[in-house]
A and B are shown apart, each in its own frame.
Chain A
Amino acid sequence: MTCIIVDDEATARAIVAKHCSGIPELDVVGEYDNAIDAIKFLNQQDVDVVFLDIHMPGFSGVDFVQTLKNCPKVVLTTSDTEFAIAAYEYEAIVDYMVKPLTADRFEKSVQKIKKALDKEPTAAPNTRSISNTDAVQDLYINIDKRLIKLHFDEILVVKAKGDYIDISTENKDYRVHTTLKKIKDKLPEKIFLQIHRSYVINFTKIIDIEDNSVLIKKMVIPISRSNRPELMRRLNLV
């Protein structure tokens, strides 16, 4: 089982890492002192488990779980017993360990992780029983180390631009370091459609379609020949 450790305290990370080293099946593939760096890593690589401190400055463990679309199993490590009940509201959270961690308690947690992974042997489940992007209403983008929430409804157009994408919303434009494919995978197919190699649009926002372009707000977006049939199929054409 691969895992990462997320805690803003170096001593806390060292304790979890030490316990992990005593479990041959556990392979620590990363340690992070903040949630945002961990989320960046998880957007690039899947892991089985995250050992996560619930109380971190600016971005709590619960925020972390809510942010990830495909959240791995999470074991919360914390000094706060009062969060326990709230934590179990999330399907991804399989255990809750109160610091200081002991070897016996850690081993019990590993057993819980194994059971949870055995129940769902395929891809890691999403949080709160969400099984696809259609059930989620928003996504988070990373801008200057801040995670900004965008509701799907406010997103108009996503344009590929080299190593970046430009997201146009009702009120503001954002540039994000990711690929069009990655963001497309996070957007619900029900309302988003790729109409060109470089463009994904929210097709509920189309004002009109003319020849090989669509108008969204004041933006004219090209439609590629290969994507046109799917667009036409989706339209409620009279």
Chain B
Amino acid sequence: MEQPNLRYIKELSGDDIEFEQKFISILKDEFPVEFASYKEHIDGKDNLEAADVVHKLKHKFNILSMEEAYRYAVTFEEQLRDGKTDMDQDFRHTLINIEAFLKTL
């Protein structure tokens, strides 16, 4: 499975360590909220709302340099807008993976 990493964040931060720490802190605050919101909407069968959250989460995949996960999310977002939730399980695994990664930071 593709692993999240800090490549983009380090490139963005350069030698600005203070920004890097602040940015990671923002990410650690924002991601769990979006993850919880995703679960709530998908479990509640609010597929369009879930699609909106997937849209935000796919940006997090970009930030964590997860190209495959990003492409998966693009397709999943479209699927959700068509009312299809088949890709939910694999998508959740990616989110759980990121959740675990962020806890190590």
Q: Is the CB of B55 within 8 A of A100?
A: no
Q: Is the CB of A14 within 8 A of B52?
A: no
Q: Is the CB of B23 within 8 A of A100?
A: no
Which bucket holds chain B's interface residue count?
20 to 34
**For the complex, would chain B's binding face be called helix, strand, loop or mixed by DSSP majority?**
helix
Q: Is the CB of A14 within 8 A of B23?
A: yes
Q: A18-B12, A100-B8 are in contact. Are A12 and B59 (CB under 8 A)?
A: yes
Q: Is the CB of A15 within 8 A of B12?
A: yes
Q: Can you name 18 A-B residue pairings with CB atoms under 8 Å?
A: A9-B56, A9-B59, A11-B23, A11-B26, A12-B59, A14-B22, A14-B23, A14-B26, A15-B23, A18-B12, A18-B13, A18-B19, A55-B55, A57-B52, A79-B55, A79-B62, A99-B59, A100-B59
| Distance to closest chain A CB from B76 (angstroms) | 13
Is A10's CB within 8 Å of the partner chain B? Answer: yes
A18–B58 Cα distance when bound, in Å, is 20
Those of A1-33 within 8 Å (CB) of chain B: 8-12, 14-15, 18
Those of B18-50 within 8 Å (CB) of chain A: 19, 22-23, 26-27, 29-30
A99–B13 Cα distance when bound, in Å, is 16
| Distance to closest chain A CB from B77 (angstroms) | 9
